Structure 1
Amino acid sequence: MTASRNYLDRVGRLGPVPIRSPELRFRVVHGYRRAFRVAGAGPPLVLVHGIGDSSATWEKIIPSLARDHLVIAPDLLGHGLSDKPRADYSVAAYANGVRDLLGVLGVPRATLVGHSLGGGVAMQFAYQFPERTERLVLVGSGGGGPEVSAVLRMLALPGGEALLHLLRLPTARWQTGLVVSAMRAMGTALGQDAPDLLRVVDALPDSVSRAAFIRSLRSVVDWRGQVITMLDRCYLTQGMPTLLVWGSRDAVVPVAHGYRAHAAMPGSQLEIFEGAGHFPFHTDPARFVSTVERFLAETQPATWNLEQWRQLLRTGRNGVAGPTGPVDAASERNAT
């Protein structure tokens, strides 16, 4: 523990940090208040939540992870107790926000754990700032293909904010509750994830929160599905220890995306939680913690090399130098 404390003394600007219990703190970055939970000491572990959620989603697992790590779980801008300005809520902007918060806190490098949208943010962070990324843990992550829950596609349509407001009305909530109960009784995957999805809706109490949610959603999803991908640049994770965690019954981002990402990311590990939905760390927090801890113990932080990065870019996904001519503009692909 002394060595862990020395790490904080050397690079941290957090002040005294509780060993195990998460403490909610705030910092102002670029004029906006950023909320984050912090606990423990040791090598930094950053937990990035999904769309509409907050750092509170990690509360059950933070104390266990904080036994050996400095755990930092931010509320992304527009989420939780962070400010919700009319701003850029793209994945790239979120990655910048995480980088800037870590800069304020004096944390130079970290392992990132990202759930859903947060997985896309973690992957984008590694793409933009590979020298600051030690490992990746992607949980039911976005960016693995266009398929996504019909509920999110519907909310991305015009009128999505009004629909969110409607879902909070007592009458609509009662009717929604009946539908959810029926889906759960039938054993559907969506019925399994519905309580967590309704919890996210409940965390959007006012028009400002709902507007931020819709802006975030439309930056990554439209009526056809996800509009961004990480698959075209997954080859750049070569040498980056990466763990993929998915629930076999994920109704939001299908488990097929986990297999797809695993195939596209050299050296990655894939852990499937049988019977779990989109929130495997809620379904079985003890197994999730042990899976992450084992991954951390068995891997070494990535070392970034500019020449290796340049060579990977030159050879591309197939390890062969790409064409130098113009790209066919008629070929439409998802991209950030």
Structure 2
Amino acid sequence: MALFAEVRHPSSAKAPLVLLHGFGGIGAVREPVLRRLDPDLPLVVYDLPGHGRSLDADGVGHGGVMARAILADLDRREISSFHLCGHSMGGAIASLIALKAVDHVRSLTLLAPGGFGPEINHEVLRRYGSAVETGELALGLAAMSAPGSIVDAAVLERLADARRLPGATVRLMEILNSFLVETNGRIGQGRLPLSSFEGFGVETRLLWGAEDPILPVTQASSIWKAAEVTLIEGVGHMLIDEAPEAVASAMAAAVEAG
């Protein structure tokens, strides 16, 4: 089964911005950011393998497997040049895509990406991944956000619709387990091959919430030297909901520069 993506302005001569959500998300949760972007900007907004309308698509697995699936889908769509933006797990996938297809990537924007250090709050992710109804999802998102953050009710409804699909939460647990590793009795996340990014020539922007309860903000220091790093005070892991203006600004700057 092919991956689902919402494609906007496919006939545009400009390179599209490809968006990859985090674990347990769907492409539709990007709406708080998308409404702040140029309405004429060409976009490819994916539901990642095993999520939403890509629930039964090929490519379910760890970050490397999903990166290959996204690249194959972009090739199928005859998109040979693109900007990339990924959040959390989607950030790890975006990084791997950029490494594998550096000549095709115009810019890379990472939002609290996975794979930059071993620490990860897997217990909160497990609770979030098993949530189905809006109340459970709201609690899960609150646990990933800075205190006082409010999630858009429409986002919760879209997530709940995706979680009610048969097998959705089972698939999410499979995905979560695929990128968790146990070392010396402690559960953490697999790490990206960060040494491979030395001399990485793609313009990169990294945004991280200073109060991230899922991936410690200290992991931002692992980014390659040429990247532009922005740490956002008072924000947790869910940057799209908590800091949509900053995220939209970074995306727009990446597209304009590339």
Q: TM (normalized to structure 2)? A: 0.81
Instruction: Identify the match of residue 253 of structure 1 among 215, 230, 239.
Output: 215
Find the residue that maps to 2:3 and give its secondary structure. Answer: strand
Give 1:292's aligned residue.
251
Aligned to 1:23: none
Q: Deviations over 1:60-112 (max 9, x none)?
A: 22244344531111111110111326864121111111112211222101110
Match of 1:216 among 175, 199, 218: 175
**Greater alpha carbon shift after TM alignment, 56-65 vs 246-255:** 56-65
CA distance in structure 2 between the aligned counterparts of 1:121 and 1:60, rounded to whole angstroms: 22
Identity across the alignment (%): 23
Name the residue aligned to 1:103.
Answer: 75
2:189 — aligned with what?
226
Give 3-state SS (helix, strand or coil) of 1:47's partner.
strand
The CA distance in 2 between the partners of 1:287 and 1:293, in whole Å, is 10
Tell me which amino acid in the other structure corresponds to 2:6.
R
The residue that corresponds to 1:273 in the other structure is 232
Aligned residue identity for 2:178? S
Is 1:35 aligned to 2:9, yes or no? no
Name the CA shift for 1:151/1:194 in 2 (closer, same or farther; >3 Å): farther
- Where do residues 5-16 of structure 1 align in structure 2 (5 Å cutoff)? none
Q: Which has the higher contact order (CA 8 A, sep 6+)?
A: 2
Residue 34 (structure 2) aligned to one of 33, 38, 62: 62
Letter of the 2:171 counterpart: A
- 1:53 and 1:251 map into 2 onto residues whose CA distance is 17
Q: Secondary structure at the match of 2:109?
A: strand
- Residue type of the alignment partner of 1:53: G
Larger radius of gyration: 1
When the two structures are aligned, how many residues end up with a matched partner?
Answer: 247
What is the aligned-residue RMSD (CA, Å)? 3.3
Are the equivalent residues in 1 in contact too, given 2:19–2:46 (CA < 8 A)?
yes
Q: Does 1:137 align with 2:106?
A: no
- 2:20 maps to 48
SS state at 2:171 partner: helix
- CA 1:66–1:103 in 2, change beyond 3 Å: closer, same or farther? farther
Tell me the secondary structure at the aligned position of residue 120 of structure 1.
helix
Residue type of the alignment partner of 2:2: R
Gaps of 5+ in 1: 1-31, 301-336
User: Does the CA-based 8 Å contact 2:180-2:190 persist in structure 1?
Assistant: yes
The alignment status of 1:244 with 2:203, answered yes or no, reads no
Contact 1:115 1:138 in 2 (8 A): yes
Secondary structure at the counterpart of residue 250 of structure 1: coil
Task: Decide whether aligned partners of structure 1 residues 279 and 88 sit closer, same or farther in structure 2, where only a CA change above 3 A counts.
Answer: closer
Report the AA paired with residue 212 of structure 2: D
- 1:228 to 1:194, Cα distance in 2 relative to 1, 3 A: farther
The residue type equivalent to 2:191 in the other structure is I
- Of 59, 78, 92 in structure 1, the residue corresponding to residue 64 of structure 2 is 92
TM superposition shift of 1:194: 9.2
